[in-house]
Amino acid sequence: MNIHDLMSFRVIAKESSLTKASKLLYMTPQGLSKIVKNLEQELDCQLLIRTKAGTRLTESGQCLEKYADKILADYGKLRNEILHIEQRSRGIVDLLSAYGILRLVTPECIRAFQKEHPEIEFHYREYPDRQVERLFQEREGNVAFSIADFDDNLYDITELEMFPVKLLVNEAHPLSRKESATIEDLRGEPLYIESTEFKIHHMIADRCQAAGFEPDIAFETSGFSLCHKMVKANKGGTVPVRQSKPLSSMLCAG
């Protein structure tokens, strides 16, 4: 048993679903099942009962969840304290950032930090938000900027800013005449959207599926400029997280 196994089990218990937990942990359901099986063999008990609706904890599973919460909380405090000690002693900031965060934390802000703290060695890398979190879980970097939602058990979180998700369409598109849009308005609407390495992709797909339909994803890309180009040509809509100069936009709620 190790910390990673306990983290994985805690997420499974919270989500009551191997599939949902696998998305949060960037693992396959089969990989999580193996972790649970190893824990059950080590503890000589059954931890989960699998049903068509998902999973539920046995009494032994509830016991492990209770102790896992305490162990992970203590481990989080230990890790943060050691991280602060090492950051001070080494004078290193290794920042991983999701694309688009620079609109909140500007290059000028980073340069001002470097000028004010020349004794600190500063590194900065940008990736899609899911890749940032995956690397951070693998102990890459010591500071990470990403986009919600987060699991409070996996991260020590400080919120920078909240902003609405918007649907971006051409001003000639019929939806542009509406004051606001819901997920239902995306039914049958061609979407040019960022790839599965971005949280926005999964958020929209999950919301559409919850509303009873599959999103019509015309194309996936790692560059939002292509999405904007297709909207400009009135080929469909997109749902950006990053700030852009809109042709016409509306709040996408529900």
- Return d(Cα 18, Cα 177) in angstroms, integer: 42
Asked whether the beta carbons of 98 and 146 are under 8 A apart, the reply is: yes
CATH number of 166-253: 3.40.190.10
- For 91-161, CATH number out of 3.40.50.2000, 3.30.565.10, 3.30.428.10, 3.40.190.10 equals 3.40.190.10
Q: Which fold has domain 3-71?
A: Arc Repressor Mutant, subunit A (1.10.10)
Check: CB of residue 11 under 8 Å from CB of residue 153.
yes
Could you tell me which of 29, 66, 60 has the C-alpha nearest to residue 46?
60
Where in the chain is CATH 3.40.190.10?
91-161, 166-253
pTM: 0.59
pLDDT bracket for residue 152 (50, 70, 90)? low
| For residues 40-62, average pLDDT | 89
95 close to 123: Cβ distance less than 8 angstroms: yes
The residue written with tokens 């690397």 in the block is 135
Residue 251: pLDDT over 50 = no
Token pair of 2 as six digits: 């190790």
Please classify residue 61 by burial: count the beta carbons closer than 10 Å to its beta carbon, then call 0-12 exposed, 13-18 middle and 19+ buried.
buried
CB 92 within 8 A of CB 121: yes
Q: What value does the mean pLDDT of the chain take? A: 83
Per-residue pLDDT at 59 exceeds 80: yes
The answer to which of 1-10, 28-37, 145-154 has the lowest mean pLDDT is: 145-154
